[in-house]
Amino acid sequence: MGDTYEVEVKIAIDSYEEMEERILDLGAEKINREIQVDSYYDHPCKTFQETDEALRVRSRQPIGNERTESSRNLVELTYKGPKVDTTTKTRIETSVNLDDATEIASILENLGFKQVATVIKKRQFFRLPSITISIDEVEDVGLFMELESIAQTEEVDKARENIFEMMKKLDLDPSKSIRASYLELYVNR
């Protein structure tokens, strides 16, 4: 079995309510809503912006009384490798679930990593077979929708095709997808 990839497409949207209605009309299950605070770090010997990599500490805060599968791990450390194609944000992704964001930050900083930015978003999750969709309200950046599948190396092409099919069902143009991460959009705003 190969590496695990996050196959993801992001697109700017105009209306939260309209997109939520379209998603639900396709039979998606509305999961949970949470606030995510993402702190990004740079390597002491290279610049991740130049290598198209990311190192992130994510803290999750469920909105309301919800506590479902995507919010059960409230802190995670994630490495994202460089993007592997020119049409999506597909990349190797490895995460470790932890308990204390402050302690993680302390370890990283003591190893020479520097915090470069913090991106805050409200995220509503929806689930369809093999695809997770989120509507993201990103502070100082805008309103977006992401469609994501987790796939092994041999499944990446099929996952990408499924996401593009789903975009068309949602009346969205796959050619208008955004390959930049929220960090890139935040830094370049």
Look up residue 37 and give its amino acid: V
The CA distance from 136 to 16, in Å, is 9
Q: How far apart are CA 144 and CA 98, in angstroms?
A: 27
Query: Mind giving me the DSSP string for 46-72?
Result: S-HHHHT-EEEEEEEEESTT---GGGS
Q: Where do we find the tokens 């900083």?
A: 109
Q: Any catalytic annotation for residue 40?
A: yes
Distance linking the first and last C-alpha atoms of the chain? 39
Enumerate residues 6+ apart whose C-beta is below 8 A from 165: none
Catalytic residue, chosen from 5, 40, 41, 182, is 40
CA separation, residue 69 to residues 34, 74, 76 (Å) = 12, 10, 14
Query: Which residues belong to the active site?
Result: 40
